Structure 1
Amino acid sequence: MRKKLLAIAAVGLMATATMTACDDSGDSGDSGSNGGGNSSGNGKARIGVILPDTESSARWKNEDPKYLKAAFEEANVSAEIVNAQGDRARFVQIGEQMINSGVKVLVIANLDSISGKAVLDKAKEKKIPTIDYDRLTLNGGADYYVSFNNNEVGNLQAYGLIKCLQAKGAQNPVIAQLNGSPSDNNASLFKEGYDIPLNEKYDNAEFTKGPEQWVQDWDPDNATKIFEQMLSQAPNIRGVLAANDGIGDAVIKVLRKKGLAGKVPVTGQDATLEGLQNLLTGEQCMTVYKATKLEAVNAANLAVKLFNGEKPNVTNTLKDPESGAYVPFVSLPPAAITLETINKVVVDDKYIPQANLCKGKYLALCQQHGVGTFADDKKKDEDEDR
């Protein structure tokens, strides 16, 4: 591992002098606030944020930059928010540039623990406070961690799948599991959460354990290939624990080709637009909503306190399973979302705008299920039926 760290760091050092974190085309997914958008920062004191990619989940391209930027602007603190676009070497380069050009606090959502640790180690050398955002960097030694209760996320997925299978009257169904990326500690935590209820079902012979595989980098294309192979080897799969909405959507597209979409319950997570639309069509049985705005605001507030030289009071801790160290942990609650609770995402938090969700063929489904402004119409129809 040490050799890998040195290799990544060397790549970062060679490219630091020429790399820029944002360009005129604007397609890199980078953003800044209060003049902090340029990666050089001109030595300006600011908070640096590195996001991982724009492929594993739409949140990293859309929601997180927006909410973080707004929170920093409200606090009147300069910030620089850059997306590494799934490139581990670039992740390290961005970190080194931020550290060498004057950031006072560094917030990272790692791509993996090796490249994440390389950045955190460099920050530690400069005595820059660090925050792991959403994903814990194993053996990284971040000063703080802000995320959701990820075991609970997995728990909600398992119980959601169980409920959907029971509703269909499934008898000893074969369950396929597509776990998240093995390089993401969150994926391991989700799996710990959903394995407990599922293993109980397997042990009691209520469910049959089918094929299981990890999906590298949460890549939907990879998930498609994996599930096609799974279904070929086990055509009697009747339930799928998919670790997030992107993987779930890949599974659903394969099921459509086989005429099984909507017949085989599929889970998800992140409450993405595609995940909610799959809920509307009945092809996905549930998702898990992790309020990105809540996470971004908590991380930003923590970073601002550190920026201002304050010592935040964080009472919870999480044990790093690799180093054994206890990291001060801001733990946030996730929520299971089904058709019955979809308005929590659309109406209450306005996380997914109704106009985006209820377009084209989904408009009639939104009306049918009482999404957003159609809720009163649905209630009126139900009252008339009574």
Structure 2
Amino acid sequence: MNYPIKLLTFLFVSVFFVGGCALQKNEKVEVGLLLHALDRERWEKDRDFLEEKVSELGGTVIVKIAENNADTQLKQAKELLANGVDVLVVVPVDQFAAASIVEEAHKNDIKVISYDRLIKNCKLDYYVSTDNVEIGDLQASYLTQIKPTGNYALIGGALNDNNSQLLYLGQRNVLQPLVERGDINIIYNEFTNDWSEEEGYANAKKLLNGNQNVDAIISANDAIARGVIRALEEKDKEGVLVAGMDADLPNLQLIVAGKQTCTIYKPYEKMAAATAELAVKLAKSGEHENTFQTVSNGAKLVPTVFFNGMIVNKENLKLTVISEGYQTEEEVYK
């Protein structure tokens, strides 16, 4: 699968949106949160942070879980809209299918915020996420600093998630010059069906059964990385560098144990806070005035709020996820 190596330039524009009917001052804001699933530790934290922040702003969150079924998620969106929610926040099951959710919301004069996964090919209102191209860059840059030559494997995220392609772009931005110099060989490069440990395990088994020597494996997230590490342990492969993303507690413990090299921490609480503030302002006034970064979703330049991820390794655990309050020192070093 071929993707352009250079990231599309992000534009900066001043955006002023007006739409929908403003709430009366005494009305309570209802935010509909459509989650693809609670299949990872991080999504539970995102949900909890968002509920807490909206509550602090005087609103409530109604949560629907789609269990990774796009049809179910569309049905849940229609239910929330019929029940009169004031704004939708969506973590899409499928980047393309979720365009129907945006269309349904707009029929009801309701705005949609896409959270950490971009909804493609529709008139999406807002997008809040981390810069996933930068995160892919961080993963590859960190491993190539440790191992500037050798055999690399890339095990990507789910094909139905736009973030998978963005991570890949960032990784290849770093790796391609080294490949062209002959310093690095990419011996395995596959996307997965979902961001799961089993997918990581199956892909790593396929890689290792090929009897190729591998020096580093960049996993799209920590669940995939756990599967990779399980496969490496079964083959008694030591010293292979493994990168992940999400700062899941089991993976932080694997970093402490020396089995995973690094992960990426996304500032989930800050992302949730920005989303809550945006959602409540839109619900109360029907408008939001700000200067936004924009990113193309194939149909429009979507006003976007981006946050930066950070590398987490054995040396900086206390200065990152622990000092941020995302995980406790007791649990990480358990």
TM over 0.5, shorter chain:
yes
1:121 has 2:103 as partner: yes
Q: Identical aligned pairs, as a percentage?
A: 27
| Contact 2:159–2:193 (Cα < 8 Å) also in 1 | yes
**Structure 2: tracts of 5 or more residues without a match:** 1-27
Return structure 1 stretches of 4+ with deviation > 6 angstroms.
none
Q: Distance in 1 between matches of 2:211 and 2:177?
A: 22
Residue of structure 2 in register with 1:286 after alignment:
262
Question: Which amino acid in structure 2 is aligned with residue 91 of structure 1?
Answer: Q
Equivalence for 1:51? 35
1:207 corresponds to: 184
Change (3 A) 1:346 1:144: closer
The answer as to whether partners of 1:314 and 1:329 remain within 8 angstroms in 2 is no
What's the counterpart of residue 38 of structure 1? none
1:236 corresponds in structure 2 to 213
- 345-354 or 301-310, larger mean C-alpha shift: 345-354
Structure 1 gap segments, 5+ residues each:
1-43, 167-171, 360-386
> Aligned equivalents of 2:46 and 2:83: distance in 1?
23
341, 347, 352: which one aligns with 2:327: 352
Counting helix residues as a fraction of each chain, which structure ranks higher? 1
Deviation at 1:320, TM superposition (A): 2.2
How far apart are 1:187 and its partner, in Å?
A: 1.0
After the TM superposition, which residues 125-204 of structure 1 pair with which residues of structure 2 at under 5 Å, given as runs? 125-166=107-148, 172-204=149-181
| Structure 1 residue identity aligned to 2:258 | G
C-alpha RMSD of matched pairs (Å): 1.6
Q: How far apart are residue 158 of structure 1 and its match?
A: 0.5
Higher relative contact order (CA 8 A, sep 6+): 2
Shift of 1:234: 4.2
Q: CA deviation at 1:297?
A: 0.5
- Give the CA deviation at 1:58: 1.5
Q: Which has the larger radius of gyration?
A: 1
Q: Alignment partner of 1:210: what SS? A: strand
Q: Residue 256 of structure 1 corresponds to which residue in structure 2?
A: 233
Distance 1:180 1:212 in 2: 11
Distance across 1 between alignment mates of 2:278 and 2:141 = 33
Aligned partners of 1:146 and 1:329 also within 8 Å: yes
- SS of match in other structure, 1:107: strand
TM-superposed CA distance for 1:355, in Å, is 2.7
Q: How far does the alpha carbon of each residue in 1:348-385 deviate from its partner, in whole angstroms, 9 at most, with x for none?
A: 111012232222xxxxxxxxxxxxxxxxxxxxxxxxxx
Query: Which stretch has the larger CA shift, 343-352 or 63-72?
Result: 343-352
Q: When the two structures are superposed, what TM-score results if normalisation uses the length of structure 2?
A: 0.88
State the one-letter code of the partner of 1:211.
Y
2: CA distance, partners of 1:203 / 1:321: 31
1:335 counterpart = 2:317: no
State which drifts further: 139-148 or 309-318. 309-318
Does the 8 Å contact 1:176/1:209 carry over to 2? yes
CA distance in 2, matches of 1:88, 1:146: 20
Q: Match for 2:203: what amino acid?
A: I
Distance 2:322 2:219 in 1: 26
Question: Would you say how many aligned residue pairs link Structure 1 and Structure 2?
Answer: 308
**Contact 1:314-1:328 at 8 Å conserved across structures:** no
Contact 1:54 1:86 (8 Å CA) reproduced: no
**Structure 1 or 2: larger strand share?**
2
Q: Is the 8 A contact 1:315 1:329 kept in 2?
A: no
Q: Matched residues in 2 for 1:327 and 1:114: separation?
A: 15
For residues 199 and 161 of structure 1, what CA distance do their matches in structure 2 show? 14
8 Å Cα contact 1:123/1:129 also seen in 2: yes
Looking at structure 2, the residues matched to 345 and 58 of structure 1 have their Cα atoms a distance apart, in angstroms, of 18
Hey, what does 1:304 align to over in structure 2?
Answer: 280
Match of 2:86 in 1: 104
